């Protein structure tokens, strides 16, 4: 069966300008104060996820008069915000997650940036935020990486995690779309998202709270969806679980996603299933890439409604043999158990999850040829 590409996947295939053509769009402030050598050593020695940040950040400002302007690479520093800034009151905010990888020759690459640029604009449209030209998105990453190239770590599971985001900064308390926005990109030298790396996680299946409902914002990347996931996560952590699996809000019957990750199910017959994009689920770039990769190696992938009761029965009957979560931050992480108020099942570990993890990370880090054309070079080998 031929799979039709989503709008995002189509946009992700658009040709992009080379980094050298756009490297100067964000003007670098050469007076930025850099962290000390001791601080740099400390951060790079022991990489956590999203804890420490580099010397610079990218920034641009949107106003009604000028559109996106004031594009610069400046010192990483606290923001000065008016207490009436709309983002602080009504949550008008969108963000992305994308990584930079160092290859063996020292060059720095990123993974499917046009996908993230297109998804950022999908989120912008939903939150009534002006779209950011793809070229500006890309130029901000190139400019930031070129200023902070020494911060791209090397080694298994290590990357420079990039967090582009847009916030409504107009000082106004009326409820309407703001008339001023700030775009920023910050960067965090990071190790694995889960401290135990590629180890199975224990998942709490929540049927009390939902992260998003029909017509809401579940298919775009905005802070509110993550805020909605925090209370169930706190409770799950207190009870010893690593993550929460959310169900569809309309019927409480079908799997949605894990809040920060999509979910996949591997069947004993060798096929794979993942929840279809209903509008409540974030269309993950890693999710899309896994579907393409599996299809390429001859594995049948179905995007479909996955009913929890049926899934539990299939796990118990040995018809489901692996499950995993995936996302930019989490990459590919095996799921070791599912627990809810009235059930607890162990999910076996298997070879396919490991293979997908290894293939995706080998492409990202340049250890395997990029046969899908997913990589984009941000900078050369000079540090
Ligand atoms: C990402 O995977 O990049 C995300 O934004 C999700 C979050 C759990 C870090």
**Ligand 1 neighbourhood includes 259 CB (under 6 angstroms):** no
Say whether pLDDT at 255 is over 70: yes
Of the pLDDT bands very low, low, confident and very high (cuts 50, 70, 90), residue 83 is very high
Mean pLDDT value of segment 45-57: 96
Q: What is the pLDDT of residue 1?
A: 66
Over the stretch 92-122, which tens digit does the pLDDT of each residue have? 999 999 999 999 999 999 999 999 999 999 9
In this predicted structure, what is the pLDDT of residue 381?
79
Structure tokens at 120: 């950022």
Q: Is the CB of 164 under 6 A from ligand 1?
A: no
Which residues partner with 337 through β-bridges? 202, 346
Kind plus residue range of the DSSP H or E element containing 313: helix 308-316
What's the token pair of residue 36? 């000390």
Q: Is 259 exposed, middle or buried (0-12, 13-18, 19+ CB in 10 A)?
A: buried
Whose structure tokens read 């880090």?
365
Task: Supply the pLDDT for residue 209.
Answer: 97
Q: What is the mean pLDDT of residues 127-154?
A: 98
Instruction: Give Rg (Cα) of the chain.
Output: 21
Over residues 65-79, the mean pLDDT reads 98
Provide, rounded to the nearest whole percent, the portion of the chain with pLDDT above 90. 96
* Per-state percent for the chain, helix, strand, coil, to nearest 5: 30, 30, 45
Summarize the confidence of residues 149-154 as an average pLDDT.
Answer: 97
Q: Is 159 exposed, middle or buried (0-12, 13-18, 19+ CB in 10 A)?
A: buried
Q: Is the CB of 260 under 6 A from ligand 1?
A: yes
Index of the ligand 1 atom closest to the CA of residue 260: 8
- The band of 3, judged by pLDDT with boundaries at 50, 70 and 90, is confident
8 Å CB contact between 200 and 102:
no
Q: What is the pLDDT of residue 2?
A: 75
What is the band of 186 on the pLDDT scale with cuts at 50, 70, 90?
Answer: very high
pLDDT of residue 78: 97
DSSP 3-state of 9: helix
Distance CA 55, CA 186 (A): 9
Check whether 312 has a pLDDT greater than 60: yes
Point out the ligand 1 atom lying closest to the alpha carbon of residue 286. 2
Q: What is the pLDDT of residues 326-340, one digit of tens each?
A: 999 999 999 999 999
Say how far apart CA 174 and CA 26 lie, in whole Å: 32
How far apart (Å, rounded) are the C-alpha atoms in residues 137 and 141? 7
From the list 182, 152, 178, 179, the residue with the least C-alpha distance to 167 is: 182
Give tens-digit pLDDT for 278-306. 999 999 999 999 999 999 999 999 999 99
Residue 275 to residue 63: CA distance in whole angstroms: 39
pLDDT of 383 above 60: no
Residue pair 178/170 in contact (Cβ under 8 Å)? The answer is yes
CA dist 376 and 111 (Å) reads: 6
Average pLDDT score over residue span 356-373: 97
In ligand 1, the atom with minimum distance to the C-alpha of 330 is: 2
Crossing angle between the packed helical segments 113-126 and 134-147, to the nearest 10 degrees:
120
What pLDDT score was predicted for residue 91? 98
Atom of ligand 1 minimally distant from the CA of 50: 9
pLDDT band at 382; cut points 50, 70, 90: low
pLDDT of 200: 96
**pLDDT score at 196:** 86
Residue nearest atom 9 in ligand 1 by C-alpha distance: 329
Cross-strand pairs, 203: 243, 338
Q: Is the CB of 94 under 6 A from ligand 1?
A: no
Ligand 1 mutation pick, 160, 282, 328, max ligand atoms within 8 A of CB? 328
């Amino acid at each position: 069966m031929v799979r039709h590409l989503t709008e995002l996947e189509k946009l992700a295939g658009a040709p992009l300008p080379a980094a050298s053509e756009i490297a100067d769009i964000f003007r670098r402030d050469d007076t930025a104060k850099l962290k000390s050598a001791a601080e740099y050593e400390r951060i790079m020695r022991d990489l956590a996820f999203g804890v420490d940040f580099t010397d610079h950040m990218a920034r641009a400002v949107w106003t009604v008069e000028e559109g996106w302007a004031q594009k610069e690479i400046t010192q990483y520093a606290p923001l000065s915000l008016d207490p009436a800034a709309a983002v602080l009151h009504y949550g008008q905010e969108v963000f992305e997650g994308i990584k930079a990888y160092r290859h063996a020759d020292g060059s720095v690459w990123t993974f499917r940036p046009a996908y993230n640029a297109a998804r950022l604009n999908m989120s912008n449209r939903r939150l009534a935020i002006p779209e950011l030209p793809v070229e500006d998105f890309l130029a901000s990453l190139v400019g930031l990486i070129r200023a902070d190239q020494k911060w791209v770590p090397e080694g298994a599971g290590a990357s420079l995690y990039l967090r582009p985001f847009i916030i409504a900064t107009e000082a106004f308390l009326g409820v309407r779309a703001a008339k001023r926005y700030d775009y920023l990109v910050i960067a965090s030298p990071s190790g694995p998202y889960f401290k135990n790396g590629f180890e199975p996680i224990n998942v709490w299946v929540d049927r009390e709270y939902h992260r998003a409902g029909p017509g809401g914002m579940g298919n775009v990347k905005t802070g509110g969806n993550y805020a909605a996931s925090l209370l169930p996560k706190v409770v799950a952590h207190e009870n010893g679980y690593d993550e929460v699996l959310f169900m569809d809000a309309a019927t409480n019957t079908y799997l949605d996603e894990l809040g920060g990750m999509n979910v996949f199910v591997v069947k004993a017959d060798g096929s794979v299933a993942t929840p279809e994009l209903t509008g409540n689920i974030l269309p993950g770039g890693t999710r899309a890439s896994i579907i393409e990769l599996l299809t390429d190696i001859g594995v049948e992938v179905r995007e479909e409604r996955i009913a929890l009761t049926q899934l539990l029965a299939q796990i118990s009957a040995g018809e489901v043999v692996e499950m995993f979560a995936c996302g930019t931050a989490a990459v590919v992480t095996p799921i070791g158990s599912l627990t809810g108020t009235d059930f607890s099942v162990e999910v076996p570990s298997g070879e396919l999850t490991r293979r997908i993890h290894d293939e995706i990370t080998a492409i990202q880090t340049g250890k395997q040829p990029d046969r899908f054309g997913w990589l984009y070079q941000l900078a050369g080998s000079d540090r």
